[in-house]
Amino acid sequence: MNFRNITRLIRFYPTYVGAGISVKSFNDDFTQVTVQMKMHWYNRNAVGTHFGGSLYSMCDPFYMFILMEHLGRDYIVWDKSASIDFVKAEKGTVYATFEIPFERIDEIKADADKKGKGLYTFNTNIVNEHGEIVANVEKVVYVRSKKIKSS
């Protein structure tokens, strides 16, 4: 499965359309994805700032997509858990960048091959147009090698 294409098609995903979320860019080797969310009447909360669920939603699948693209079909990759710490209320466009360098992908692959499975933690910030942090996001991703039977 080509997650670059899925990332292009995500602009039609109802959850993202409904929240005003779009993929702004991804690099050629698909190790980095930047997502944006513009403020609209339909993603505003009761006090006029970005709805917290939409802020989290914009961060949901991208670490998983990057790993699935690079690890391939010999690995099972799932989002395991997540947390979000809201730092600053925001009314403008917000951005989040998800990046896993090749070195980290290689470490994850080697670790999953050795142990059969593992949990891997990633962090990113949601920022506003001035680079100020709006929220901190932590994602834990489960990776299991299909080559090794794991309990």
Q: What is the pLDDT of residues 124-133, one digit of tens each?
A: 999 999 999 9
Q: State the DSSP H helix or E strand holding residue 28, giving kind and residue range, or none if neither.
A: none
User: In the block, which residue shows the tokens 């896993």?
Assistant: 100
Give the CA distances from residue 131 to residues 1, 17, 24, 49, in Å, rounded to whole numbers and listed in that order. 34, 24, 16, 17
40 with 109: CB under 8 angstroms? no
Asked if residue 67 has pLDDT above 70, the reply is yes
| pTM score of the predicted model | 0.89
What pLDDT does 33 receive? 94
Residue 49 is predicted with a pLDDT of 93
Residue 150 CB coordination number (10 Å): 13
- Output the pLDDT for position 4: 63
Token duo for residue 96: 């989040």
* Mean pLDDT, rounded, for 96-111: 98
Q: Which residue has the higher pLDDT, 134 or 149?
A: 134
CATH top-level class for 3-145? alpha beta
Domain boundary assignment for the chain: 3-145
For the chain, percent of residues with pLDDT exceeding 90: 72
Q: Does 23 or 14 have the greater pLDDT score?
A: 23
Given a cut of 70, whether residue 36 has pLDDT beyond it is yes
Q: Which tens digit of pLDDT belongs to each residue from 104-147?
A: 999 999 999 999 999 999 999 999 999 999 999 999 999 999 98
